[in-house]
Structure 1
Amino acid sequence: MSDVAEQRNYNLRDEIKTYWSERAATFDLSPGHEIFSEEERAAWHRLIRHHLGESEGRMALDLASGTGVVSHLLDDLGFRVTGLDWAEPMLERARNKARDRRRKISFRMGDAENTMEPDEHYDAVVTRHLVWTLVNPTAAFAEWLRVLKPGGRLLIVDGDFVNTNALERLFSKLSGWGQRAGLLKADIPSGSREMMETHRSILSRVHFSQGARAEEVAELLHKAGFVDVEIDTDLDEIHRTQAKNWNVFKALARKSQHRYAIRARKPSS
């Protein structure tokens, strides 16, 4: 195949897959990705129980499961979990983590926008920090509705990582100044400068390039056929447990962001 043909066939979705494959090596080092305390784990458990109820051995699909952080939270609570991701390096780490912890979680290669999973197979579908990366959320939400059993629930945890308010900008500047001066705890690097540029480029071209606002996501879920769509912006307990891993201004900047959980249900009939 010629270089021109290869470039033509390498599309945005391929770029996203490659980016997250490269991020796999350092993914679990970042607060907000891996769980760094039992307090944080308990806070996530309470959020999941609040929106999905008790597990009772129900089947859950963790979409864009990465290194399996959310899959393990669901497994903690007694769900029978399948994790789906399209980045093999992420899956490799997820499988190793599950083996080391002696967890019976199935991790499979798959596309969150076209899962190839059976119709009406899962009691719950869960995503964290996936929606903002979607190229075609309309198709993705229809797919998630398809794989849910009647009455099954969807839980999305995400945020607007594009738009910033005045407080976030102020706190970010103070955090950066304090780190450069050696007065504040430094951020854990999320990748090279080149990877940061790639991230910005991808973000400018996905569907939610102007920011994944909760209200817009909820409206698209309604149009896809979900009912009882509820936006939950009270993630303070999780934030407080994560904030211990950042300097004070970094934590305040994070708290100022538009982050949310959205619960929705597939109609029972």
Structure 2
Amino acid sequence: MTLDPSGTVQSVSNFSLKDEICDYWSDRAATFDLSASHRIEGRYGLPEWQQLVRAACTLPPTEDLVGWQVLDIACGTGEISRVLTSLGASVTGLDFSETMLGLARQKLAGADWRSVLSDAEAMVQLEDASFDLAVTRHLAWTLTHPQDAYAEWLRVLKPGGRLLVVDGNFRAPKSPWQRLRNLLANWLSGRQPPQGDRDRHDAILDRLPYRDGLNAERLTIDLERAGFDVVGPLPVRPLYGRGMRGYGLAERLRQSAANRFALVAVRPTGQGI
């Protein structure tokens, strides 16, 4: 409780923006895997994601991650963790939504996977230099304190450890080609209703550091400020092209019209925290 200038007692809420974000994604958890943006289809999508992870780690096309300790940051329902465990990695899935983690535990039962309930910006449960690789998808643009997060991600990686970020500039203006793809998709299947509560989503996004959009160039600058060496981008077209062949044409057009990117960064060897 606090007093306003007139002396009237006012209540103070402890419900923060981060709490809003957690609640928003928790509320979406039950239908999360229904979205082609999130579910990784097994026949075509999984192999493309496996190849992206191998490329991020500079591994040959047939080599696996047996013996690797890998962190899936903001793992959600466990789709990226499923890719990582399919490559033989020992995976830690971290998320601040217990609802999301509960679904991931069901999905990954029996796999070499453990869950950690934690904020991606303050991973106090994780020890320094614990992981060979960290992967995160569709998280960076939602961070409330990006530099705090990147410092934590750097801390938990081993020297020489790699970070793979797959994200998108979801507020960038669409190119004429992208608009045409969406128009064709709507003509084929009708305009799709927004996923989740769009007003609630936008009200959160308007208060985030990356509210004007996040692209690979901006993320590169911020990761380098945190101490990473940014290796460079990786192509995402295979994920949302060949990797989407398990979906209908309309959904494939929509997914390929998004402004997504993948970026690889490395914790320099010999670097102290």
Q: What displacement does 1:138 show?
A: 0.8
Unpaired runs of 5+ residues, structure 1, are none
Contact 2:44–2:245 (8 Å) recurs in 1: no
RMSD of aligned residue pairs (Cα, Å): 2.1
Which of 8, 27, 35 lines up with 1:30 in the alignment? 35
After superposition, the Cα gap between the structure-2 partners of 1:252 and 1:201, relative to the gap in structure 1 and judged at 3 Å, is: same
Q: 1:244 to 1:266 in 2, by over 3 A?
A: same
Distance across 2 between alignment mates of 1:78 and 1:4:
55
Q: Determine which structure has more spread, i.e. the larger CA radius of gyration.
A: 2
Note if contact 1:185-1:247 (Cα within 8 Å) is conserved in structure 2.
no
Aligned residue number for residue 82 of structure 2: 72
Tell me by how many angstroms 1:257 deviates. 2.7
Q: What residue is the counterpart of 2:113 in the other structure? A: 105
Change (3 A) 1:172 1:150: same
Shift of 1:198: 0.7
> Could you report, residue by residue, the CA deviation over 1:106-163 in whole angstroms, capped at 9, with x for unpaired residues?
0120110111111111111110000010111111101100011111111100110011
Deviation per residue, 1:224-250 (Å, 9 max, x gap): 111143122x212111222652443x5
For residue 6 of structure 2, what is the aligned residue in structure 1?
none
Q: Quick one: which of 14, 18, 23 aligns to 1:13? A: 18
Q: Which residue of 2 aligns with 1:227?
A: 229
In structure 1, what is the Cα distance between the partners aligned to 2:133 and 2:84?
10
Paired with 1:184 and 1:122, the residues of 2 have a C-alpha distance of 43
Secondary structure, aligned partner of 2:108? helix
Asked if 1:143 corresponds to 2:148, the answer is no
- Measured after TM superposition, the shift of residue 78 of structure 1 is 1.1
Q: Please state how far the C-alpha of 1:4 moved relative to its aligned partner.
A: 5.6
Give yes or no for contact 1:229–1:265 (8 Å, CA) kept in 2.
yes
Q: What SS does structure 1 have at the residue aligned with 2:54?
A: helix
- What does residue range 1-269 of structure 1 map to in structure 2 within 5 Å? 5=11, 8-52=13-57, 53=59, 54-99=64-109, 102-116=110-124, 117-167=126-176, 168-176=178-186, 178=187, 183-184=188-189, 187=192, 190-191=195-196, 195-232=197-234, 234-240=235-241, 241-242=243-244, 244-248=246-250, 250-269=251-270
Which amino acid in structure 2 is aligned with residue 155 of structure 1? Answer: L
SS of structure 1 residue aligned to 2:44 = helix
- Determine the C-alpha separation between the residues in 2 that align with 1:51 and 1:149: 15
Q: Provide TM-score, normalisation by structure 1.
A: 0.88
**Which shifted more, 41-50 or 254-263?**
254-263
Instruction: Determine the C-alpha separation between the residues in 2 that align with 1:65 and 1:89.
Output: 12
Alpha-carbon deviation of 1:204? 1.4
Moved more, 45-54 or 153-162: 45-54
Q: What amino acid is aligned across from residue 68 of structure 2 in structure 1?
A: R
Report the Cα distance in structure 2 between the residues aligned to 1:213 and 1:5, rounded to whole angstroms: 39
Query: Bigger CA drift: 160-169 or 116-125?
Result: 160-169
- The count of residues paired between Structure 1 and Structure 2 equals 256
Q: 1:267 to 1:128 in 2, by over 3 A?
A: same
* Runs of at least 5 residues in structure 2 that lack an aligned partner in the other structure: 3-8
The answer to whether the 8 Å contact 2:37/2:255 transfers is no
- Identical-residue share of aligned pairs (%): 39
* Greater fraction of residues in helix: 1
Quick one: structure 1 residues 188 and 39, their matched pair in 2 at CA, closer, same or farther if it must change by over 3 Å? farther
Deviation at residue 186 of structure 1 after TM alignment? 6.4
| Superposition TM-score, scaled by structure 2 size | 0.87
Given that residues 72 and 136 in structure 2 are in contact (C-alpha distance below 8 angstroms), is that contact kept between their aligned partners in structure 1? yes
Question: 2:11, 2:68 → 1: CA distance?
Answer: 45
Distance 1:124 1:254 in 2: 26
- The structural deviation recorded for 1:207 is 1.1
Runs of 4+ in 1 over 3 A off after TM superposition: 1-6, 173-176, 185-189, 250-254
